[in-house]
């Protein structure tokens, strides 16, 4: 499932390939991904414009077209972007295809069909309506600490709550907690201030490194939980078998000796 590092990688890919070129057509191949806009309207409003810049917030990507119109992309479970020459065939999982005047095309691909494509006038209004919290990489340490001071529950549940902190998904929440050596079920009220500061540093560090690795699982450090998580996986720190549990409705992977539970 695309998480923040994946979406940031899509953003950089789009910035490097698809900006400043006139959009000659928009071909919607599966209208179910469209949210609040029809295929005809999407094509009509984007045709003749070009994408000028982009902005990521949590797992959402917004692409600004000239004339102050924003295309909204959410990658659901399996979404991704692909830029290629007109002669090449679009993949079957292509849901929306943007053709540029330079002869290249950008495909919004999505095998499982949980992705979303929409149009917006105002990003901040959209974020407010969705009730999304600040992006984890845009937060200050004091903002982060404030959330942990004000809310109750398991630390992993707080990390995953997009209304409090936008951008952390299941896999990276486990990785961040492993780095900070905190058991995912630890109650937030039991975390001392310096532990929360450590958690903040771990979140930034893990997400930035994952972005550097282009969110490619094969390029993640062997000292991380990610290459080992799953049944029979061993902790890269102490070599003991990793454990799993359902916390906040999601499967958490962790190492019991390395990640102590304080309460």
- What is the contact surface with Zn ion in residues (CB under 5 A)? 235, 237-238, 255, 258
d(CA 87, CA 110): 21
Query: Known catalytic residue: 146?
Result: no
Q: How far is the CB of 84 from Zn ion (least distance, A)?
A: 44
Nearest to 154 by CA among 233, 17, 246: 246
Query: Known catalytic residue: 163?
Result: no
Q: How far is the CB of 228 from Zn ion (least distance, A)?
A: 10
Indicate the SS3 state at residue 195: helix
Token look-up 């490194």 returns: 209
Nearest to 135 by CA among 205, 211, 57: 57
Q: How far is the CB of 217 from Zn ion (least distance, A)?
A: 20
Q: How far is the CB of 183 from Zn ion (least distance, A)?
A: 11
Closest CB to Zn ion among residues 216, 241: 241
Closest CB to Zn ion among residues 103, 230: 230
Angle at Cα 18 formed by Cα 119 and Cα 204, nearest 5°?
A: 80
Closest CB to Zn ion among residues 63, 255: 255
Q: How far is the CB of 244 from Zn ion (least distance, A)?
A: 14
The residues near 136 (Cβ < 8 Å, ≥ 6 apart) are 4, 58, 165, 166, 167, 168, 203, 204, 207
The residue from 130, 181, 243, 250 that is catalytic is 250
The residue from 11, 56, 59, 72 that is catalytic is 59
Q: Is the dihedral of CA 146, 152, 155, 158 positive or negative?
A: negative
Query: Known catalytic residue: 179?
Result: no
Q: What single string gives the DSSP state of each residue in 53-76?
A: EEEEETTEEEEEETTTEEEEEE-T
Query: Known catalytic residue: 257?
Result: no
Closest CB to Zn ion among residues 62, 254: 254
Indicate the SS3 state at residue 211: helix
Closest CB to Zn ion among residues 77, 238: 238
How many helices (H) and strands (E) would you count in the chain? 7, 10
Structure tokens that stand for 157 in this block: 């549940």
Q: For 22, which DSSP code?
A: B
The residues assigned a catalytic role are 2-3, 59, 250
């Amino acid at each position: 499932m695309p998480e923040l590092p994946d979406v940031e990688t899509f953003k950089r890919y789009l910035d490097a390939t698809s900006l400043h070129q006139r959009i000659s057509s928009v071909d919607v191949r599966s209208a179910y991904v469209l949210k609040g806009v029809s295929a005809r309207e999407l094509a009509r409003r984007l045709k003749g414009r070009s994408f000028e810049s982009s902005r990521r917030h949590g797992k959402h990507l917004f692409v600004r077209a000239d004339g102050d119109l924003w295309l909204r992309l959410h990658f659901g479970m399996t979404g991704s972007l692909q830029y290629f020459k007109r002669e090449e065939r679009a993949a079957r999982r292509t849901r929306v295809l943007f053709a540029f005047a330079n002869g290249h095309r950008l495909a919004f691909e999505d095998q499982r069909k949980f992705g979303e494509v929409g149009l917006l006038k105002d990003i901040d209004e959209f974020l407010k309506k969705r009730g999304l919290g600040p992006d984890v990489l845009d937060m200050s340490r004091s903002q982060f600490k404030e959330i942990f001071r004000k809310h109750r529950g398991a630390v992993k549940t707080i990390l995953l709550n997009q209304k409090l902190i936008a951008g952390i998904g299941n896999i990276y929440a486990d990785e961040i907690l492993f780095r900070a050596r905190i058991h995912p079920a630890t109650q937030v009220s039991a975390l001392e201030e310096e532990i929360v500061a450590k958690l903040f540093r771990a979140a930034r560090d893990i997400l930035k490194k994952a972005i550097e690795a282009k969110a490619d699982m094969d390029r993640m450090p062997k000292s991380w939980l990610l290459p080992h998580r799953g049944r029979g996986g061993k902790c890269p720190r102490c070599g003991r078998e990793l454990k799993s549990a359902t916390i906040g409705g999601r499967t958490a992977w962790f190492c019991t000796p390395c990640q102590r539970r304080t309460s």
